[in-house]
A and B are shown apart, each in its own frame.
Chain A
Amino acid sequence: MTEATPSAAEFDAYLDSIRRLVAEKLIPAEPRLDGQETLPEDLTQLLRDIGLFGISIPTRYGGLGLSMEQQVRVMFEVTRASGVYRARFSTTIGLGSQPILYNGTEAQRQEWLPRMASGEVTAAFCLTEPEAGSDAGSLRTKAERDGDHFVLNGTKRYITNARQAQVFVCMARTDAASKDAAGISAFIIPAGTPGLSCGPADKKMGQDGSATSEVYFDNVRIPAANLVGGREGGGFKTAMRGINHARLHVAVTCVGQAQRLVEEALSYTMQRRQFGQPLAEFQLVQAMLADSRAETLAGRSMILEVARAFDAAGEAQGPIIADIACCKLFCSEMVGRVADRAVQMHGGMGYMRGVAVEQLFRDVRLLRIFEGASQVQQVLIARDMVRHAKA
């Protein structure tokens, strides 16, 4: 990095600030998230103040300019608290800002990145549609050129922070004749543009406090200057950079949540006594504790390794796409197992509302589904293997 970078001691001091914020403010406020549509404003402000909306944005645009390795070290700490906190800025740091940063024009960067970095602007990323989920390349939302404007029509589904967003990064088909990813472009659409609206917040299994909703484009007319990078057809490549970023961050979230689940399970089983001794003294319980810790460490280690590769790769992301998929696949399945054990170790208590592991159990189920479901990651990884073996 060419910009002013923190020394090791300064970065550690920042991690320390974050650890304290998590322990003193974010974890104690988790019960407030229950039943909420979105994160309360006072809690969102804490995330802004500590700089989390700007971790992936360079300092010249007002962000913290952290390397991916530094970002994941920050996020391991943040995601010890409910993943809902992370969800509030995730769409801004990943899929919202990265396409603009790497594929946008300088004018687009200047216009949006500083306000994203400060958290003044929340970005939402619109890819998924009712008929296009895993097969995102088949999306149908269309953008038709009309002079120096584009007109968008279509419906997006499950869009995180749509109802909180000041700007939408939307993937739409510009080449009506195409059926695949090649005909897709990315657009920057400010909230409030006529014809753009959101549905009610979805009612979900978990993630209370983080809203998704449908987003409707009904003859939304925007200047051609809002086409990311000013080029038609580059949309999927544009999205991929953000998706890679987001996938690695989801893997980190899995590890952060797993760390927390292990802490909760350990403290509960040390204090709960049955048959005359703490549960943590029983070998069958110890097996669950040990497996959970080992798997969490495995996830943490692979992420740090791939994050370093991400930084070393720079623009050449191709070779690490499959490794990022490995992190997303392993870590999301891993936290599912860890959450299941944590509930099990809590006995009946683990099934009760108001208990942290119950909330986390429902929250982490999502992590195997979005940013590419596990099966999609498996297919991606295996295809990459076969392709290399043939080459």
Chain B
Amino acid sequence: MKLLVPVKRVVDYNVKVRVKADGTGVETANVKMSMNPFDEIGVEEAVRLKEKGVATEIVAVSCGPAACAEQIRTALAMGADRGILVEHDGVLEPLAVAKLLKALVAKESPDLVILGKQAIDDDMNATGQMLAALLGWAQGTYASKIEAADGGLLVTREVDGGLERIQLKLPAIVTTDLRLNEPRYASLPNIMKARKKPIENVKPADLGVDVTPRLTVLKVAEPPTRQAGKKVASVAELVDKLRNEAKVI
């Protein structure tokens, strides 16, 4: 089974994100960048499938500026076999990324694409679903467990009501949830081995994809700071405040 694993370059999860003074976005200059944690879970799952003998090849893909090669290197250090960088300097919306991935799927013919359920920068939660729709493939989103079964995949999904198990036919799209696995920490020998693994560089135009943004960002602002709570002396006072101050009942 051949696997395609997209990995996104995002602001590191430990960084306290700040809105740019002009409200056009968030500050990314001189900020530590890392692989989207959900994508890391995707890479880990792919590597485990390879270690179990289920997967044969893992291709890590990143779409964005040249620096995304760092995140591909991280995936290679974790155990992916080779990388593809779709280099583009401007904004890439989920639909554009889904189209780029669709074009790569046509080129690479993977049996399974494992994406993060969302990226921690814009939390769009869209690319995996869009890719499934564009390809007409089965999808198992929010996966907390993946097992090879009956020539396909048995995916346990985290849904509002609890857990749902679905059987997917291959080829398929899976998006990862937090509890799927705990990604490994890359060791130095594996980091150094990644040096020798190839990364192919392509441009959206090479794939025949128009990535022009279709959305316009009007303004990015800090969420309002939370007001301090109030202590109430009795249930009667609480009900009174909910009714007359908060006006929620």
Contact = CB atoms under 8 A, between A and B. Distances in A.
A14 interface: yes
A148 interface: no
B31 interface: no
A66 B185 CA distance: 18
Contacts of A35: none
B73 A13 contact: yes
A223 interface: no
Interface stretch (A16-24, A187-195, A366-374): A16-24
Interface string B177-190: 00000001111110
A51 B192 contact: no
B191 A6 contact: yes
Interface string A11-51: 10110011011010000000000000000000000000111
Interface residues of B, number: 13
Given A7-B195, A13-B73, A13-B74, A64 B188 contact: yes
Contacts of B185: 17-18, 20-21, 49-50
B195 A10 contact: yes
Nearest to B74: A13
Contacts of B191: 6, 10, 13-14, 17
Given A7-B195, A13-B73, A13-B77, A51 B186 contact: no
A4 interface: yes
B243 to A, nearest CB: 34
Nearest to A46: B185
Interface string B2-40: 000000000000100000000000000000000000000
Contact of B187 (A7, A11, A49): A49
Chain A interface residue bracket vs B: 10 to 19
B73 A51 contact: no
A6 B77 CA distance: 13
Interface in B58-100: 73-74, 77
Contacts of B74: 13
B188 A10 contact: yes
Contacts of A49: 184-185, 187
Contacts of B192: 4, 6, 10
A50 B184 CA distance: 9
Contacts of B187: 14, 17, 49-51
Interface centre among B184, B186, B188, B191 (most CB of A within 10 A): B188
Contact of A64 (B73, B189, B195): B189
A49 B182 CA distance: 14
Interface in A50-106: 50-51, 64
Contacts of A64: 188-189
A367 to B, nearest CB: 27
Nearest to A5: B192
A13 B188 CA distance: 8
Contact of A13 (B14, B184, B186, B189): B186
Interface in B100-159: none
Main SS of the interface on chain A?
helix
Nearest to A62: B189
B186 A17 contact: yes
Contacts of A7: 195
A51 B188 contact: yes
B30 to A, nearest CB: 16
Contacts of A50: 185, 187
A13 B194 CA distance: 11
Contacts of B188: 6, 10-11, 14, 51, 64
A51 B184 CA distance: 13
Contacts of A17: 185-187, 191
B27 to A, nearest CB: 21
A64 B191 CA distance: 12
Contacts of A10: 188, 191-192, 195
Nearest to B32: A16
A20 B143 CA distance: 24
Interface centre among A10, A50, A51 (most CB of B within 10 A): A10
B50 to A, nearest CB: 18
B189 A51 contact: yes
Interface in A191-206: none
A210 B192 CA distance: 32
A86 B195 CA distance: 29
Interface in A323-374: none
Contacts of B14: 23
Nearest to B77: A13
Contacts of B186: 13-14, 17
Interface in B175-224: 184-189, 191-192, 195
Nearest to A6: B192
A10 B14 CA distance: 21
A20 B189 CA distance: 17
A13 B32 CA distance: 12
A13 B75 CA distance: 12
Nearest to A66: B188
B36 to A, nearest CB: 15
Contacts of A11: 188
12 contacts: A6-B192, A7-B195, A10-B188, A10-B195, A13-B73, A14-B186, A14-B187, A14-B188, A17-B185, A49-B184, A49-B187, A51-B188
Interface of B: 14, 73-74, 77, 184-189, 191-192, 195
Q: What 6 A-B pairs are tightest by C-beta distance, nearest first?
A: A17-B185, A14-B188, A21-B185, A17-B186, A10-B191, A13-B191
Given A13-B186, A50-B185, A64-B188, 16 more contacts: A6-B188, A6-B191, A7-B195, A10-B188, A10-B192, A11-B188, A14-B186, A14-B188, A17-B186, A17-B187, A17-B191, A18-B185, A23-B14, A50-B187, A51-B188, A51-B189
